Structure 1
């Protein structure tokens, strides 16, 4: 019994680790926050992970009910998320910050920080369609115990990811401005490809369900 429980806990954690990939997301975080101070980076990291945790917790506890209530299908979520991720990756690939999280005016620094934390970091990078699908898959296999294990493992991964994000400052100093520009474009390419992959999976899922 205990062995099966530990095996399930490990499976959930490794599943989240693979789908969220804190190592790769650290490079994305560096590219998106290259112009920010260390204090602002910590603020953005905390806010994005907190939002992602709230989103995943909601879907872990009420995911199936939410989808049923609004008539949302997973393929539709993947298509929408794929388009959003692709657009963000496209802007990064061109060395720009997406207008979705770049408000006009220099007096909106706090709003800009909040926007970066919400999109694209929290959603859809950290709590994207793949993470939500994984959450619903893990939490819907049993009762409340599976849901609590799912939430606990995602919380643990959020803590791990936060330390990855915070240590990214050392990587920034090592790479320099030119290195960050390269990382930004490479991560933009990766995000664009991920977005296309999400879109393909969403269309394929919609066709299969029809």
Structure 2
């Protein structure tokens, strides 16, 4: 069956929205913004801008790597993609459930790391702890691998290319969003307020819960399809 350009564009757009909806609530740069402001409180405006750009770049690269090669790395260890989807879906749903019932926007563990950085240490700490684990932690990596596995469809090569192109575009958008959020974090926090941050977190958590259920169901359905023919035989 030959796919039209409209079908490929639809698959591309769906993948962009799917990745953004699945990863954004976990990265949630708005929740990390207060920690970023606290860590960079003693830095100059130029150093803070450099850090915001570098963190956004790291987020983009980590997300791309997890989606592109994460499933192949798992294949080396003999883990099937449906199992990855089931595990990833459970992780997403669990994170979303905890976010829905969270009492504060930032975790106490992350807040305890919020000690102001000096100009000398700013570049060294761009990856740790600002990017990993505060912005892009182990849970985000696991979810990104599961989402990347969901994008590796077996129907046709053009559809797979469209899906992965959408995923890479979403990674660029999320990296840009992280950069802009941290760049303008002081202004955003003043505008949004504590109530606004909580409302935003709850909305993102609900979207994330829906994405987690979708990933989980994709994995369960694939496992059932592989089991039922074998049982029938």
Whether the TM-score (by the shorter chain) exceeds 0.5 is yes
CA root-mean-square deviation: 4.3
2:129 to 94, 107, 112: 112
| Inter-partner Cα distance in structure 1 for 2:84 and 2:189 | 43
Mapped contact 1:30–1:168 kept (Cα < 8 A): yes
- 1:107-146 equivalent positions in 2, closer than 5 A: 110=125, 111-113=128-130, 114-119=132-137, 122-123=140-141, 127=144, 129=146, 131-132=147-148, 134-137=150-153, 140-143=154-157, 146=159
- 1:57-206 equivalent positions in 2, closer than 5 A: 57-58=68-69, 62=72, 66=75, 69-71=78-80, 72-88=83-99, 90-91=101-102, 93-97=103-107, 99=109, 104=113, 106=115, 110=125, 111-113=128-130, 114-119=132-137, 122-123=140-141, 127=144, 129=146, 131-132=147-148, 134-137=150-153, 140-143=154-157, 146-168=159-181, 172=185, 174-177=187-190, 179-194=192-207, 196-197=209-210, 202=216, 206=220
| Inter-partner Cα distance in structure 2 for 1:105 and 1:172 | 15
How many equivalent residue pairs? 199
Q: Which runs of 5+ in 2 are unaligned?
A: 37-47, 228-233
- Structure number with bigger Rg: 2
**Structure 2-normalised TM-score?**
0.61
